[in-house]
Structure 1
Amino acid sequence: MTAAALVATLAGAVLTACGPHTSTSTSAQAAPSAAYPSASAQSPTAPGSASDNPTPSRGVPPSAAYPSVSAQSPTAPGSTSDNPTPSRGVPLTPSHSAPLSPPNSNSTTAPGAAASPGSSVIGKAPGGGPLADPSISRGAAGGGKTVALTFDDGPDPRWTPQILALLAQHHAKATFCEIGPQAQRFPYLTKAIKAAGDRLCDHSVHHNEQQDRMSVDYNTHEIVDAQRDIADAAGAGTKLWYYRAPGGDFTPWIRAIAAQHDLRPLGWSDDANDWRRPGVDGILRNVDQNLRPGAVILMHDGGGDRSQTVQALARLLDQLDAQGYSYGFPVV
């Protein structure tokens, strides 16, 4: 199957299975803070954009640590994401019924046309097939009472070492979804994560939660450049296992790009909502709402003040130990 056919098939399947979505979140969207300037995206909105997360939207624009971007290339029309609830801070647009085949590497191919021969955007795998499963992983591997802890937006020199220390105390493993420039800025932390036996995950270059509105070229840059930056920071021979789109902003063709570069799209099933800083008790209540064997728990080690996260994690690990949980990684 060609890469374009793969993506078209994925898009058609999602549209058939999911249909149009509307927001189910009742919480107010968080306003961008001075620490999180919005990206200046001027490309046309992709009709039918919807996020793919099973939990409410987060509304966190790109951090000052991840430089803002100005993208003016045409957006792939017909994008449809695969989460049942809306992306964090990304307004929904009317649904679009046309399946998507991505434009080629110069972002000018007409919607629905096949990628041009030799396109470097999609088609890294021999024969055009994906190297990784393009479906979204939302479960922990290992069976039994296993959970997968995941931490986004780092590494951070203040919070990441504290989280690593807590994990070590409890003999717990985790997956760290890193921002490419952050990994380059603090390579010793990325190396420490690898040395601890934890897994690394690509979390983009700019943490732009409106990636589905951008061109294929833009998305390829966000995924592939971050993958390279994180792997280089961690050292030779490092494998990145997953790609987690900022805000869960997945579309079939974004997932296809990740899979073509051997990255399993990574979602979650249990959102701590610690980025909102609801207090330590609030974070624990959020986790407990969806805590069950096989849960993939979303928390953060970067992107802001994570003191509440660290305190909540200490209590959560005690609780999980007492309840007989073990710690694994998301399904690949």
Structure 2
Amino acid sequence: MKSDQFLTRRRALLASAAALSAAGAAGLLALDTGDEPVRAAISAAGAPARRLPSKSSAYRLEPLTGYGPPRASPGRTLVRHEPLLKVSGRGRTMVLTFDDGPDPRYTPGILSTLREYDVRAMFFVCGEMAAENKNLLARMADEGHVVGNHTWTHPLLTQLSRSRIRSEMERTCDVIEDAYGERPKWFRAPYGAWNRAAFQLGAELGMDSLAWTVDSLDWTTPGTGTIVDRVESGAAPGVVILSHDAGGDRSQSVRALRDYLPQLLDSGYHITVPRRQYA
């Protein structure tokens, strides 16, 4: 699928995804803070994390401090019932994530801004976009970013058979391994539409599930200033910011990052990525 088709598909499926909701997440996440791994306890309840200037997306949960379930056996990924939503580290730690790419029109600009400020981020890529832009995944590897699995065609997983979900995930794992150099350890369901099969199959493929705390809603192209305001108003220790580097015109997202990233850093936030999984 070409990048412009993602926007059409997103708008067509969002109405269905809006009926989905989830509550009660728990897990542990280690961040690359430069120190020893810091374990984060996460749980969630069904409510928006913050009041944002516009309506929230279909999947918005409020992270609350809690205790995670027991760890899985060594070498295995825990099968979760809900995704991780929030992280915790020493000090004012945040994670920036970008979905749907890579897109040669927008991803390079985001990577250049991250490199300028020596910041690492997470990119949840779609397999067919990655297959056409392997050089961008190689650059992500070279510059220390984390690449996660966002399925092959960005479908609504709750409408797919188990075998189709596996195919969407597995093909994307394969192309990430080929272009990035290792198989992904993280998975994010398109539209935040998770189901039991997605958690089970993700775990079988060695991936843990990460959602988000603050949705920039940049895919609605609300204007650069609005995206900046949403990120800055949602900024807080432990949050995971959702943005996009593909799926439509993402020029506003590229410009917004140039604005809010230095401001977050000046405010004392440590923008980081997961170093390894905890379950």
**Is the shorter-chain TM-score for this pair beyond 0.5, marking a shared fold?**
yes
Structure 1 residues 323 and 38, CA gap change in structure 2 (3 angstroms): closer
Matching of residue 136 in structure 1 with residue 83 in structure 2: yes
**2:20 aligned residue:** 50
Matching of residue 297 in structure 1 with residue 244 in structure 2: no
Q: Is the partner of 1:188 in helix, strand or coil?
A: helix
Per-residue Cα deviation, 1:12-35 (whole angstroms, up to 9, x for no partner): xxxxxxxxxxxxxxxxxxxx9895
Provide the rounded CA distance (Å) in 1 between the counterparts of 2:12 and 2:113.
38
Provide the rounded CA distance (Å) in 2 between the counterparts of 1:83 and 1:303.
29
What is the CA distance between 1:170 and its match in structure 2? 0.9
Provide the rounded CA distance (Å) in 1 between the counterparts of 2:231 and 2:189.
21
Task: Write the letter of the residue equivalent to 2:87.
Answer: A
Of 155, 173, 195, 1:227 maps to: 173
What is the CA distance between 1:272 and its match in structure 2? 0.7
Provide the rounded CA distance (Å) in 2 between the counterparts of 1:155 and 1:34.
12
Of 253, 259, 266, 1:309 maps to: 253
Structure 1 residues 250 and 164, CA gap change in structure 2 (3 angstroms): same
Matching of residue 36 in structure 1 with residue 36 in structure 2: no
**1:205 aligned residue:** 152
Provide the rounded CA distance (Å) in 2 between the counterparts of 1:148 and 1:261.
23
Q: Which has the larger radius of gyration?
A: 1
Matching of residue 257 in structure 1 with residue 201 in structure 2: yes
Q: How does 1:1-332 map onto structure 2 within 5 Å?
A: 36-37=8-9, 50-52=20-22, 84=46, 130-132=76-78, 134=80, 135-208=82-155, 210-235=156-181, 238-330=182-274, 332=277
Provide the rounded CA distance (Å) in 2 between the counterparts of 1:283 and 1:40.
23
2:6/2:247 contact within 8 Å kept: no
Q: Is the partner of 1:240 in helix, strand or coil?
A: coil
**1:18 aligned residue:** none
What is the CA distance between 1:295 and its match in structure 2? 0.7
Provide the rounded CA distance (Å) in 2 between the counterparts of 1:89 and 1:146.
25
Greater strand share, structure number: 2
Provide the rounded CA distance (Å) in 1 between the counterparts of 2:11 and 2:220.
20
Q: Is the partner of 1:139 in helix, strand or coil?
A: coil
Of structures 1 and 2, the one scoring higher in RCO (CA 8 A, sep 6+) is 2
1:52/1:85 contact within 8 Å kept: no
**2:63 aligned residue:** none
**1:111 aligned residue:** none
Per-residue Cα deviation, 1:112-161 (whole angstroms, up to 9, x for no partner): xxxxxxxxxxxxx999x952453412223533101100000100111111
Superposition TM-score, scaled by structure 1 size: 0.62
Q: Is the partner of 2:123 in helix, strand or coil?
A: strand
Provide the rounded CA distance (Å) in 2 between the counterparts of 1:85 and 1:327.
25
Structure 1 residues 216 and 196, CA gap change in structure 2 (3 angstroms): same
Superposition TM-score, scaled by structure 2 size: 0.73
Counting matched residue pairs gives: 230
What is the CA distance between 1:229 and its match in structure 2? 1.6
Task: Write the letter of the residue equivalent to 1:227.
Answer: C
Larger mean Cα displacement after TM superposition, 269-278 or 285-294:
285-294
Q: Percent identity?
A: 32
* Aligned alpha-carbon RMSD (Å): 3.3
1:173/1:328 contact within 8 Å kept: yes
What is the CA distance between 1:224 and its match in structure 2? 1.5
* Residue segments in structure 2 that go unaligned for 5+ positions in a row: 25-43, 49-55, 60-71
Provide the rounded CA distance (Å) in 2 between the counterparts of 1:40 and 1:292.
32
1:201/1:241 contact within 8 Å kept: yes
What is the CA distance between 1:40 and its match in structure 2? 10
Q: Is the partner of 2:185 in helix, strand or coil?
A: strand
**2:36 aligned residue:** none
Provide the rounded CA distance (Å) in 2 between the counterparts of 1:240 and 1:258.
10
